[in-house]
Structure 1
């Protein structure tokens, strides 16, 4: 079962389980895993959602038995990553970790999802449970949006993170620039004219990012190809892509699974591709929160740790744990 809300849309949707179409698909960071939810997208009333049987018993048992990294371990790893960045003159490398929370005996899944939807109205918000997986998340980065009628393709450059009250420094500004350049270099191979917005603040709960929007008219048959070129973007991987992917596998303690992958939602006239960032994998007895940050030569490990702690609250503060 899957439940989701589109950005700035308070209607609740699910799929009707018809086997002739897959309207909702989740792709893992490494593209090795794909989860399809069969059926057409249908709207669900609040009353129908309340009647649905979504309890703690629906969640899978945790068979992974991962142990979270300590702060000291993570800071030491960041120092090594910064060395690699400096040695290879990388603009950015994205490092992530799992924050594992076990101090509870029950999760109120319905209320947690409703809280998440209220907290992030501008995000794609979802919760799904199947035989082996249960995930919940909310994030507003659009990897791609394609209008089937006008053939207009939209995407965004989203990078740099600070608490809402703080001012941007050179570190965040420099972190966002190569993300914009990366997107433009891909789009120019598919479109004659690319429309680019000014860079502005994108608020997401208790934190903000730097954002630049891009629009271009492209051929329908090239949409999936563009998405494959865009993913993983520098915002979730780094630059250059292949070198950073290799180092992510080398340095990160856990597989990312669906974290930093993307979600494809296809409606009658639009195809959406959302980056799966502020998310958590749910078990009966533990919550695995996936968090990360863009590391540059100017990064301060202590500040990077604080940033991941802030990001972990995006889902955790909305969960109702007993």
Structure 2
């Protein structure tokens, strides 16, 4: 791994120079030639340092691996306030997760940030101190000295020893009946209900190996991975953008309406055509579009809703409508609070749907159906943290949800969440 070794040595030379004993931020960027088989995720997972965060944009153009934290934030709002204090660094990025309840986050300004954009990459080191940058430089040198050489990720040789669904199938049927009764009573238009499936294995599960396997097979997805410690992580491969902001230009989307995929292209096309014409799925998608437009109309210019597309994934296909607009003011806290949780992961009206979920789902969503990505003053991008899993030692909790509207059938919705969970579940059982 010549490139990473050379880049770290270069950073050490910078840190050995005279640095003032003053507060502030200092950034060192080292160009990173992509001339060897460097895998950022493998490098990250080899390190005995946490937190670790990995993110890849769904078209593959942008990828980042960040390690350690020089500053941590428990909400996106506090992260944004921090960035505004350092507006002479408009490309300073804070990375991490927002929970389903968007007031809560786990976001960090990393010690090291490897980032690739298209064919160019760099390794960035942050110094930050409200007392002495010189002291922080000494800590940064110790940090770099503690880093390990890259080890190959292990194969996922897993033996399943137990499984439990929250809710189980009978509980799910009752939950859907309660939801459709509530919708029939016109208290709700739609509620998105989820299931958590705990898979127990005979040994600890390597979270980065699960991420690598998912990245290889689940195409057209954002990939995100956050390791909190050696045996605790949250990861996923999500098809859905929450929002992307470039200065004041905003792009978001409605991803709702689902049908199975098929390995045969013609059969997959037929299923996609059915999805484009199906009233229940079109209605579900338009409810999300209308909700997004309503939430954004007070803080944006004209909203452009693009024609529907079918997004084909490994196990399922979705209806997607993209929405483009211009913000009156570039503000990530506003974007997050207006857009998350979307109607595609919570329901409509949003507050009533959230209350229904809180009172009736038999598990805490935590990071599931929140968002993963980065913010900076110049630009930001977050995906919705779907098709995701929480890994705690030898237990993998898979999450999957389904939009419940008038006429939803519990059996069909159970099949839909099985199909969605299969995107990660099959990875855990295919490399035995």
Q: TM-score, normalised by structure 1?
A: 0.86
Residues 207 and 233 in structure 2, CA contact (< 8 A), matched pair in contact too: no
| Residues 68 and 92 of structure 1, relative CA distance in 2, 3 Å threshold | closer
- Partners of 2:417 and 2:101 lie apart in 1 by 21
- Partners of 2:63 and 2:258 lie apart in 1 by 29
How far 1:269 moved relative to its partner?
4.5
Residues 186 and 226 in structure 1, CA contact (< 8 A), matched pair in contact too: no
Partner of 1:59: none
| Residues 264 and 220 of structure 1, relative CA distance in 2, 3 Å threshold | farther
Matched residue count = 310
- Partners of 1:49 and 1:300 lie apart in 2 by 52
Q: CA RMSD in A?
A: 2.8
Residues 108 and 319 in structure 1, CA contact (< 8 A), matched pair in contact too: no
Q: Are 1:8 and 2:59 counterparts?
A: yes
Q: Are 1:24 and 2:122 counterparts?
A: no
Unmatched 5+ residue regions in structure 2?
1-51, 72-91, 122-146, 156-162, 262-267
Indicate the SS of the match to 2:166: coil
Indicate the SS of the match to 1:84: helix
Partner of 2:242: 143
Which has the larger displacement, 72-81 or 228-237? 72-81
- Partners of 2:334 and 2:62 lie apart in 1 by 30
Which has the larger displacement, 25-34 or 138-147? 25-34
Partner of 2:7: none
- CA offsets 1:61-117 (integer angstroms, 9 cap, x no match): xxxx98633212211221111111111253211111101111443434444222211
Indicate the SS of the match to 1:298: coil
- Partners of 1:200 and 1:186 lie apart in 2 by 22
How far 1:316 moved relative to its partner?
1.6
| Residues 241 and 191 of structure 1, relative CA distance in 2, 3 Å threshold | same
Which has the larger displacement, 253-262 or 106-115? 106-115
Partner of 2:227: 129
Which has the larger displacement, 239-248 or 179-188? 179-188
Indicate the SS of the match to 1:258: coil
Partner of 1:160: 257
Residues 208 and 225 in structure 2, CA contact (< 8 A), matched pair in contact too: no
Indicate the SS of the match to 2:393: coil
Partner of 1:43: 115
Q: Following superposition of structure 1 onto structure 2, how do residues 195-206 of structure 1 map, counting pairs within 5 Å?
A: 195-206=304-315
Residues 280 and 290 in structure 1, CA contact (< 8 A), matched pair in contact too: yes
Partner of 1:60: none
- Partners of 1:284 and 1:133 lie apart in 2 by 6
| Residues 277 and 220 of structure 1, relative CA distance in 2, 3 Å threshold | same
Residues 94 and 236 in structure 1, CA contact (< 8 A), matched pair in contact too: yes
- Relative contact order higher in (CA < 8 Å, ≥ 6 apart): 1
